[in-house]
Amino acid sequence: MNNKPSKVIIITGASSGIGEAAARLLAQTGARLVLAARRTERLQTIVSEIVQEGGDAVYLQTDVTSAEDLEKLARFALQQYGRIDVLVNNAGVMPASMLQELKVHEWDQMIDVNIKGVLYGIAAVLPVMREQQSGHIINLSSVAGYSVSPSSAVYSATKYAVRAISEGLRQEESPTSHIRSTIISPGMTDTELAHTISSPEIRAMAGQMNSMAISPYSIARAIVYAINEPEDTSVNEIVVRPTILP
């Protein structure tokens, strides 16, 4: 029998989509969860349902564009559970648009959430994990982190950056502090991600493609797999996309 205590796992962007699916699935495996996002009513509902089903979860309102919020989140996890085993840097936004539309504010938003949010998450948990001499940071990139298409330039740039940051983290931390690093790169997944697209034509295009999207649980299963591999095994990169897409 495995008597090891269940892992303490922080998930950002846990109020919908992939983060919510990962939370529900990980709760079934006995993990102790700290869920973070801005929409607290959603988080409250998810936490109550997990707890009703016998799981262990708490939540804290967090805006990942604030380094201070992420520090508070890490402190909250430590107060609740005494350690941090895994951070899933999942929060992300995708207000896709053509560069010529000059939606500079949306470019800033993607950089702030998708890149800085990931870095702030790492900054908040790295000292704790180094002290523990163990930990696992999972970063959500995308198939858009491997190739660019019209309207995805800035979003893709942020997801390329996530892969670079994760690989740097792996090279620096893995041999010394034994902190594992995983990049999860989903293809089209049925979530609320396209809701932030403000260009009507691009939102319509995204809507048409949605019939091909896979369930957020397909991505959540990859996250659970990476977490539950033995500590000497570091799953570095997983791409999960709809079967019917090239």
The residue ranges that bind ligand NDP (CB under 6 A) are 12-19, 37-39, 62-65, 90-94, 113, 140, 142, 186, 188-189, 191-193, 216
| N-terminal to C-terminal alpha carbon distance within the chain | 43
135-140 and 8-12 beta bridge pairing: unpaired
Of 81, 120, 155, 160, the catalytic one is 155
**Distance from C-alpha of 114 to C-alpha of 112, rounded to nearest angstrom:** 6
Task: In angstroms, give the least distance from the CB of 94 to ligand NDP.
Answer: 6
CB of 216 to ligand NDP, least distance (A): 6
Between residues 77 and 93, which has the closer beta carbon with respect to ligand NDP?
93
CB of 188 vs ligand NDP, minimal distance in Å: 5
Nearest distance from residue 36's CB to ligand NDP, in Å?
7
Considering just the CA atoms, what is the radius of gyration of the chain in Å?
17
> Whole-number minimum distance, CB 59 to ligand NDP, in Å?
11
When the beta carbons of 64 and 77 are compared against ligand NDP, the nearer one is: 64
Task: Name the nearest CA neighbour of 122 among 83, 157, 169, 61.
Answer: 169
Sheet-wide strand order for 32-37: 56-61, 32-37, 8-12, 86-89, 135-140, 179-186, 237-240
Residue 61 vs 132, nearer CB to ligand NDP: 61
Residue 130 or 240: the one with the smaller Cβ distance to ligand NDP is 240
Q: Which neighbouring-strand residues pair with 138? A: 88, 182
- Match 């996309």 to its residue by tokens: 241
Tokens encoding 107: 């470019």
**C-alpha distances in Å from residue 100, one per residue of 137, 154, 159:** 35, 12, 20
Q: Is 155 tagged catalytic?
A: yes
Neighbours of 53 (CB within 10 A): 10
User: Closer CB to ligand NDP, residue 8 or residue 158?
Assistant: 158
Active-site residue list: 155
